[in-house]
């Protein structure tokens, strides 16, 4: 690793060490009793983070885990003095050296942010100014925080882009953010964050939107930079598998409070809090086919003052859990949990992984021979005009049996989604044939008979963009009922919609809501209910869990498994998450650059991959099973199955 990031950075470094303690032993940031709230219209304050304590040490990573809406990002940003609009620091302090960040005025904080304190957001595309070149981004940071200009600044820019291994650093300085890939944008964001050698770095889901190998490269680069610069890091993520590979310690948040903390290996192997246990049981593994379980219900939007916030969702809750608020209890140095029954449950929540797995719905329903329910033959899909066409998929052939689940995996740009859109008939520019039960389908969905359109339904990656924002949940699902369910009389539509909602575990109270009033997981359930309203024979799922946190994703996988099992529906499941595919699919296809590299049963592909690209994908997956077993997975080497 180049030492470029280390050079010319001392002008921005600050903080002091504790008397008699080396720099590596002194905490770079000490957060004590931090509580954050939002002003309400009635004049009150809604508390969303309460009594947060954290210590960040140079060269170390503290992971902050939990479901979406549990207060992770709010607490992390408040710890460095940032307040969202309407937000207020209710109590606590956050010490950077001898300076309390919570007492600083906004002007002083702005001078500090980008220098001593750096932040990398989830989406680099939105954090970079689209109107500025990459070079202008660096000019602003270096001029403001390091007083660097001219030739010195230009040399520093090249050093930084070289350190993050961006191809053609000199050329990249003249490009705009949209001219870079997602991974390259994230490398630029990293270089900007490290430009002034910060003391503290906040990472807020920095790799969530990236495919598995790009995520691996960015994560490895981060680890190198952290070790080299000895920056203290708080890593916010809902991805426990990822946190288990990059963090030394993990703090788990729920309903704005830290419910458990401890060294990563101890917490993964033996969680103390029922919520941590539930999160870990929702994480799929690529190393073994095993049953995962979502967490019923939703986390509350604010801190619970007079009871355990997790009690309504906790299988171990007792009556006192519903009437008494738990304090954080330390079982041994470094291990604590906010649970009234922590001593009683100690040891009972240990995670024991079995390799028995479960019998898939397809295998149970169809046995060894499923026949050719769907046949895709020599498909090549194109984009562009007649004179300048680009092949996104080339000569792809496969079959799918009735009630079978087939996973399609590969990196972004490999042609997975294009293939699905061609099969469903919304990208008709392709050659080859798609046949359902021996009947060839028209390329354009509009030219297919309604009976065939009913049989093939699709659920998209982003439900927010696929659901009409001006229609209620009832109207969205009712339209599918009107189009495809001749057995439902007009006067019975509302009852049919309510039954479909109950089938995806949403109550009738959601009927009158609009998509904007739903969480991401709830929106995806509505999209699934709409698809199943047609009673399809074939369901196409396009990255349906990629934008969801681990517990919601597990719930969606469970839901799909139950629905497909009860209705004998065949599924094409596209994902770049190989662990999810192993959990749900009977067979899998690996795609790269529009071609099929390898296909076979999931057990064959995951335990004995033959193609080097499949091996590369598998070795790129962070997996909790490896952490529990103390295994180190080498790049390009097939992991232990």
Say if CB 228 and CB 1 are below 8 A apart. yes
Q: In what order do the strands lie in the sheet with 587-592?
A: 456-459, 538-542, 570-575, 405-409, 587-592, 595-601
Query: Quick one: average pLDDT of 93-97?
Result: 95
202-216, 274-288, 571-585: least confident range: 202-216
Residue 515 within a domain = yes
Q: Annotate 336-368 with DSSP letters as a single string.
A: EE--TTHHHHTTTT-----S-----HHHHHH-S
* Domain boundaries, position 279: 271-345
The span from the CA of 320 to the CA of 308, in Å, is: 9
pLDDT for 15: 38
429, 282: one domain: no
CB neighbours (10 Å) of residue 22?
Answer: 9
The span from the CA of 488 to the CA of 590, in Å, is: 40
In this predicted model, what pLDDT tens digit does every residue of 203-257 receive, in sequence order?
998 887 677 778 888 888 999 999 999 999 999 998 888 899 899 999 999 999 9
Query: Quick one: average pLDDT of 164-184?
Result: 90
603, 640: one domain: no
CA 333 to chain centre: 31
Q: If you count them, how many residues does the chain have?
A: 641
pLDDT for 38: 93
281, 395: one domain: no
Q: Which of 421, 345, 314, 411 is closest to 376 using CA atoms?
A: 421
The span from the CA of 157 to the CA of 452, in Å, is: 57
563, 626: one domain: no
pLDDT for 363: 39
Query: Quick one: average pLDDT of 180-192?
Result: 89
In this predicted model, what pLDDT tens digit does every residue of 48-57 receive, in sequence order?
999 999 999 9
Residue 469 within a domain = yes
pLDDT for 493: 94
Angle (deg, nearest 10), helices 274-281 and 550-567: 50
323, 381: one domain: no
Q: Per the structure block, which two tokens stand in for 186?
A: 């994230």
Query: Quick one: average pLDDT of 297-303?
Result: 86
Residue 370's pLDDT band (cuts 50, 70, 90): very low
Give the domain-ending residue among 316, 345, 374: 345
Say if CB 290 and CB 355 are below 8 A apart. yes
In this predicted model, what pLDDT tens digit does every residue of 377-424 receive, in sequence order?
999 999 887 778 889 999 999 999 998 999 999 888 899 999 999 999
Residue 350 within a domain = no
157, 12: one domain: yes
Q: Per the structure block, which two tokens stand in for 398?
A: 């496969």
Coil, helix or strand for 432? strand
Eight-class DSSP state of 113: B
313 contact partners, CB below 8 Å, separation of at least 6? 275, 278, 295, 296, 297
Question: Which has the higher per-residue pLDDT, 299 or 230?
Answer: 230
Q: Annotate 612-623 with DSSP letters as a single string.
A: HHHHHHHHT---
pLDDT exceeds cutoff 90 at 295: no
The span from the CA of 235 to the CA of 551, in Å, is: 19
Say if CB 476 and CB 468 are below 8 A apart. yes
Say if CB 563 and CB 535 are below 8 A apart. no
234-238, 272-276, 292-296, 322-326: least confident range: 292-296
pLDDT exceeds cutoff 70 at 369: no
Residue 359's pLDDT band (cuts 50, 70, 90): very low
Residue 25's pLDDT band (cuts 50, 70, 90): low
In this predicted model, what pLDDT tens digit does every residue of 600-614 receive, in sequence order?
999 889 888 999 999
111, 163: one domain: yes
pLDDT exceeds cutoff 70 at 352: no
CA 588 to chain centre: 22
pLDDT for 234: 97
As to burial, measured by CB atoms within 10 angstroms (0-12 exposed, 13-18 middle, 19+ buried), residue 241 is: buried
* CATH (domain of 155): 3.40.50.300
Q: What is the dihedral of CA 610, 616, 619, 622, to 10 degrees?
A: -130
Give the domain-ending residue among 286, 310, 345: 345
Q: What is the mean pLDDT of the chain?
A: 87
296, 440: one domain: no
Residue 566 within a domain = yes
Q: Which of 372, 427, 412, 461 is closest to 591 using CA atoms?
A: 412
Q: In what order do the strands lie in the sheet with 389-400?
A: 389-400, 374-384, 430-436, 439-440
Residue 284 within a domain = yes
Q: How many domains does the chain have?
A: 4
Angle (deg, nearest 10), helices 550-567 and 520-532: 10
Exposure string for 374-401, b = 16+ CB within 10 A, e = fewer: bbbeebbbbeeeeeeeebbbbebebbbb
17, 91: one domain: yes
pTM of the model: 0.80
383, 451: one domain: yes
Residue 353 within a domain = no
Residue 358's pLDDT band (cuts 50, 70, 90): very low
pLDDT exceeds cutoff 90 at 470: yes
Question: Which has the higher per-residue pLDDT, 21 or 550?
Answer: 550
The span from the CA of 37 to the CA of 87, in Å, is: 6
Give the domain-ending residue among 232, 247, 262: 247
Token pair 């930084």 is found at 160
For 107, list phi and psi in degrees, rounded to 5: -65, -40
Residue 105 within a domain = yes
Say if CB 507 and CB 539 are below 8 A apart. no
96, 56: one domain: yes
For 449, list phi and psi in degrees, rounded to 5: -60, 150
pLDDT exceeds cutoff 60 at 12: no
Residue 8's pLDDT band (cuts 50, 70, 90): very low
pLDDT for 34: 97
Residue 355 within a domain = no
pLDDT for 116: 93
Residue 633's pLDDT band (cuts 50, 70, 90): low
467, 581: one domain: yes
Query: Quick one: average pLDDT of 363-368?
Result: 38
As to burial, measured by CB atoms within 10 angstroms (0-12 exposed, 13-18 middle, 19+ buried), residue 144 is: middle
Question: Which has the higher per-residue pLDDT, 491 or 478?
Answer: 478
């Amino acid at each position: 690793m180049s030492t470029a990031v280390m050079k010319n950075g001392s002008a921005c470094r600050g903080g002091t060490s504790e008397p008699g303690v080396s720099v590596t032993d002194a905490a770079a940031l000490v957060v004590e009793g931090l509580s954050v709230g939002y002003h309400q219209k009635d004049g009150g304050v809604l508390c969303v983070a309460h009594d947060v304590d954290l210590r960040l040490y140079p060269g170390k990573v503290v992971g902050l885990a939990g479901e979406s809406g549990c207060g992770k990002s709010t607490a992390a940003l408040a710890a460095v003095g940032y307040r969202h609009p309407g937000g207020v620091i209710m109590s606590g302090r956050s010490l950077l050296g001898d300076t309390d960040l919570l007492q600083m005025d906004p002007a002083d904080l702005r001078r500090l942010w980008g220098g001593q304190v750096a932040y990398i957001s989830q989406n680099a595309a939105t954090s970079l100014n689209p109107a500025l070149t990459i070079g202008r981004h660096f000019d602003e940071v270096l001029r403001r925080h390091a007083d660097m200009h001219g030739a010195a600044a230009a040399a520093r820019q090249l050093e930084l882009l070289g350190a993050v291994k961006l191809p053609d650093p000199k050329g990249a300085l003249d490009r705009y953010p949209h001219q870079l890939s997602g991974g390259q944008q994230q490398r630029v964001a990293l270089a900007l964050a490290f430009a002034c050698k910060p003391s503290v770095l906040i990472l807020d889901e920095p790799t969530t939107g990236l495919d598995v190998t790009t995520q691996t490269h960015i994560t490895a680069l981060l680890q190198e930079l952290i070790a080299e610069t000895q920056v203290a890091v708080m890593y916010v993520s809902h991805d426990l598998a990822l946190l288990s590979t990059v963090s030394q310690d993990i703090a788990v948040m729920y309903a704005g409070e830290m419910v458990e903390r401890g060294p990563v290996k101890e917490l993964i192997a033996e969680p103390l809090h029922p919520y941590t246990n539930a999160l870990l049981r929702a994480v799929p593994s690529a190393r073994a086919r095993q049953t995962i379980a979502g967490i019923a219900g939703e986390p509350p939007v604010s801190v619970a003052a007079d009871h355990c916030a997790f009690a309504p969702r906790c299988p171990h809750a007792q009556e006192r859990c519903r009437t008494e608020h738990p304090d954080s209890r330390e079982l041994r140095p470094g291990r604590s949990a906010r649970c009234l029954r922590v001593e009683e449950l100690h040891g009972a929540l240990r995670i024991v992984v079995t390799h028995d797995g479960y019998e898939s719905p397809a295998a149970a329903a169809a046995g060894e021979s499923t026949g050719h329910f769907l046949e895709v033959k020599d498909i090549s899909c194109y984009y562009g005009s007649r004179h300048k066409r680009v092949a996104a998929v080339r000569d792809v052939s496969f079959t799918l049996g009735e009630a079978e689940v087939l996973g399609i995996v590969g990196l972004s740009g490999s042609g997975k989604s294009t293939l699905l859109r061609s099969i469903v008939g919304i990208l008709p520019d392709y050659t080859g044939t798609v046949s359902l039960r021996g009947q060839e389908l028209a390329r354009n969905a509009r030219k297919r008979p309604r009976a065939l359109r009913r049989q093939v339904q699709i659920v998209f990656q982003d439900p927010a963009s696929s659901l009409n924002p001006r229609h209620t949940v009832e109207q969205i699902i009712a339209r599918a009922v009107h189009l495809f369910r001749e057995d439902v009389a007009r006067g019975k539509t509302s009852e049919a919609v309510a039954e479909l909602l109950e089938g995806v575990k949403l109550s009738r109270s959601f009927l009158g809501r609009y998509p904007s009033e739903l969480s991401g997981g709830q929106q995806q359930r509505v999209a699934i209910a709409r698809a199943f309203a047609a009673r399809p024979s074939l369901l196409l799922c396009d990255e349906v869990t990629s934008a969801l946190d681990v517990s919601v994703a597990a719930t969606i996988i469970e839901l799909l498994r139950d629905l497909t099992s009860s209705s004998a529906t065949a599924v094409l499941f596209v994902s770049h998450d190989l662990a999810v595919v192993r959990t749900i699919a009977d067979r899998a296809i690996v795609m790269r650059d529009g071609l099929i590299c390898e296909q076979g049963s999931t057990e064959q592909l995951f335990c004995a991959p033959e193609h080097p690209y499949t091996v590369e994908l598998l070795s790129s997956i962070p997996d909790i099973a490896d952490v529990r077993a103390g295994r180190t997975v080498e790049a390009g080497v097939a992991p232990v199955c």
